[in-house]
Chain A
Amino acid sequence: MKILILTGRTIDQGCRKEISKASREYVEAVAICEMNGEDMKRLGIKDGDNVKVTTRFGSVVLIAKRSKRMRSPGIAFIPYGLWANQVMGSETDGTGMPLLKGVPAEIEPTEGHVSTTEDLVKSVMHG
């Protein structure tokens, strides 16, 4: 299903990054995808199921969270962090700033697992 990805700050992300980015609590706050209830129904998933988000820059597995903040279907929110950045591009259109809100993506249910901080760091190091 096609969707627009927004990234941003959440209070949990803001607090837990101050403690440790290797902690389970940080991963739980950041490796999530907040979605509109109608979109989740259309995908046939429920709160806490895993979803795979794919853009032309990469893909990442996240935990779907139903959110009343996402009032319009077709939009999903991923907190700032390593996971969101797996699917963001680095083209800045001459401004120095990549597009980090409103990125077109595909979203689908998956059996795949959510990567840990260590997994993602290793994948950065070894390509």
Chain B
Amino acid sequence: MKRIVSKVVCPVCGCCCDDIELVIEDGVIVEARNACAMGAAKFENYNLHRNVNAYIRKNGRLVKASVDEAIRRSAEILADASYPILYGWSSTSCEAIKVGLELADEIGGVIDNTSTVCHGPSILAMQDVGLVGATLGQFRHRADLIIYWGSNPWSSHPRHMERYTALSEGRFQRSIWRRIIVRVKAESLRKSLMRVASLLLHRRTSMMLSEAEKSLEGLPSDERRLIVVDVRRTRTADLADYFIQVKPGGDYEVLQALRAIIRDEELDVNEVSGVPVEVLEKVADEMINCRLGVLFFGLGLTMSRGKLRNVEAAIKMVQDLNERTKFLILPMRGHFNVTGANTVFTWQTGYPYAVDFSHGYPRYNPGETSAIDILRRGDADAALIVASDPVSNFPREAVRNLADIPLIVIDPHLSPTAMIADVVIPSAFAGIEADGTVYRMDHVPLPLKKVVDPPAGCLSDEEILRRILSEIRRLRKGAD
């Protein structure tokens, strides 16, 4: 039987697009409409390589077990551990995260979410200097200057520009689609002419791409401007009116130079981190003269030299700009519920990630209580990973220590982390086979839908965690 479910929230990136239409035949999704390439890849393939079995490692090999056995074994491991780490949480529902926090509190463990290796430094910067933010709808309708700094939404958030910024038709701002089409046609014509010229002249003519750094003057006032700042010329940069290429690790200097220009201070250098000062002056001029600007920043700022200080400089630049015009700033959050993980962690403990319950109360000290640092020091004596794959995402040294301790993985995939685990519990896909709540990157809560039933034996993360928690309480009661 064929049915269509509409207004589905996409469980892939922080955009949480809520206009997905799924065509379902005989209990299987056969088509995802309106989704980007990543969304379609998930919706249309989620069931191809999924894991439906629970496993327990015996004599060095993963052996099939019942879900009840795997839950019992997980409870034993966690109840025996003195400093367990509970990691992941950004690709599951807020309801599951809430139970995870209760579990961490019960066993006196450390609980950390994936923001520790994405926008953790941004959170530290926001705690220092605040954040001038808004919801994405405001940018869609009103922003006339869009800046992506250290972020490549073309690859990481494919519909961000279409739904919320440069490529969206807002109530008061037009999309830049027409301008891009004209530019692509002109570029293609220029390339053809260059090719003909090089053939006629029998020598190689420079085929360098013409800079997108064209004059911003003369654009219609109701059309947005798009500026991209990055260390590589990404596909997002190809769409920009203005692309600034910064030397790797040079973002902090460029941001501080822009702050100086915005405050009408003179710079006594000709270039900053590979960017000529006259280019910075032009960009500063654009920022000051916009009606409502927004700066979206990505991991280009948080993962490079300077980390939280880069983000702090970006936020302070936006604060400076608010002396002259209206300007806002927002991190491009990666996983679909990483914002929810920060939000639920903060409700329950007061802290957004890297929360340590080992003293009997929540402590927060990223650098000490964060996942990578704990694993690097080899402090944890057990680990529970929920809806995440640190073996693929953490540096090798940290991963090595995960392999040395009892490891429990709750995941719909037999991921590389599951392959080295001692206990594997298959779960339902949040947002496809299990419902719940997620927070979009701008902190707007949205409901995940359960659109198909999970295979027999695959419970939701929330249910699995509840069962582990109640088993731990039962074990502890027995021990008393």
In the complex, what distance in Å separates the CA atom of A99 from the CA atom of B307?
Answer: 8
Q: Are B396 and A124 closer than 8 Å at their CB atoms?
A: yes
What A residues does B276 contact at CB under 8 A? none
Q: Are A18 and B46 closer than 8 Å at their CB atoms?
A: yes
What B residues does A19 contact at CB under 8 A? 41, 45, 48-49
- Chain A, Cβ-Cβ closest to B390: A85
Q: Are A71 and B42 closer than 8 Å at their CB atoms?
A: no
Q: Are B354 and A96 closer than 8 Å at their CB atoms?
A: yes
- Chain B, Cβ-Cβ closest to A70: B232
Least distance between B50 CB and chain A CB atoms (Å): 9
CB under 8 Å from chain B, chain A span 68-127? 68-72, 75, 77, 80-82, 85-86, 88-102, 117-118, 120-121, 124-125, 127
Q: Are A18 and B42 closer than 8 Å at their CB atoms?
A: yes
CB under 8 Å from chain B, chain A span 51-82? 57-58, 68-72, 75, 77, 80-82
Binds A, one of B63-71, B196-204, B296-304: B296-304
Asked if A4 lies at the interface with its beta carbon under 8 angstroms from chain B, I say: yes
The interface on chain A, measured as residues whose beta carbon lies within 8 A of the other chain's beta carbons, has a size of: 53
- Chain B, Cβ-Cβ closest to A126: B403
CB under 8 Å from chain B, chain A span 31-66? 57-58
What A residues does B12 contact at CB under 8 A? 14, 18
What A residues does B375 contact at CB under 8 A? 90
Least distance between B336 CB and chain A CB atoms (Å): 12
Name the contact of A102 in the complex, choosing from B37, B304, B394 (C-beta under 8 A).
Answer: B304
Interface of A is mostly: loop
- Chain A, Cβ-Cβ closest to B414: A22
Name the contact of B117 in the complex, choosing from A71, A86, A94, A97 (C-beta under 8 A).
Answer: A97
Least distance between A22 CB and chain B CB atoms (Å): 7
Q: Are A57 and B152 closer than 8 Å at their CB atoms?
A: no
Q: Are B117 and A98 closer than 8 Å at their CB atoms?
A: yes
- Chain B, Cβ-Cβ closest to A88: B395
Asked if B221 lies at the interface with its beta carbon under 8 angstroms from chain A, I say: no
Asked if B156 lies at the interface with its beta carbon under 8 angstroms from chain A, I say: yes
- Chain A, Cβ-Cβ closest to B123: A96
Asked if B399 lies at the interface with its beta carbon under 8 angstroms from chain A, I say: yes
Q: Are A124 and B415 closer than 8 Å at their CB atoms?
A: no
What A residues does B41 contact at CB under 8 A? 14-16, 18-19
Name the contact of A77 in the complex, choosing from B158, B232, B376, B419 (C-beta under 8 A).
Answer: B232
Q: Are B400 and A127 closer than 8 Å at their CB atoms?
A: yes
Least distance between A34 CB and chain B CB atoms (Å): 8
In the complex, what distance in Å separates the CA atom of A16 from the CA atom of B155?
Answer: 12
Name the contact of B49 in the complex, choosing from A22, A95, A118, A127 (C-beta under 8 A).
Answer: A22
What B residues does A18 contact at CB under 8 A? 12, 38, 41-42, 45-46
Using an 8 Å CB-CB cutoff, how does the interface string of B15-51 with A read, 1 for contact, 0 for none? 0000000000000000000000110011001101100
Asked if B78 lies at the interface with its beta carbon under 8 angstroms from chain A, I say: no
Q: Are A14 and B48 closer than 8 Å at their CB atoms?
A: no
Residues of B within 8 A of A (CB): 12-13, 37-38, 41-42, 45-46, 48-49, 116-117, 120-121, 124, 152, 154-156, 158, 209, 231-235, 245, 247-249, 274, 299-300, 302-305, 307-308, 353-354, 366-368, 370-373, 375-376, 389, 391-400, 403, 413-416, 419-420
Residues of A within 8 A of B (CB): 4, 6-11, 14-23, 57-58, 68-72, 75, 77, 80-82, 85-86, 88-102, 117-118, 120-121, 124-125, 127
- In the assembled complex, 26 residue pairs joining A and B whose CB atoms fall closer than 8 Å, in A order, are A14-B13, A15-B38, A16-B41, A21-B389, A21-B415, A21-B416, A71-B232, A72-B245, A82-B391, A85-B393, A85-B396, A90-B397, A91-B376, A92-B376, A95-B120, A95-B124, A96-B117, A96-B121, A96-B353, A97-B117, A101-B248, A101-B300, A121-B420, A124-B400, A124-B403, A125-B403
Besides A101-B249, A118-B419, 4 other CB < 8 A contacts? A18-B38, A69-B233, A94-B366, A95-B121
9 interchain residue pairs of minimum CB distance: A96-B370, A94-B367, A96-B366, A20-B49, A102-B248, A15-B41, A88-B395, A100-B303, A18-B42
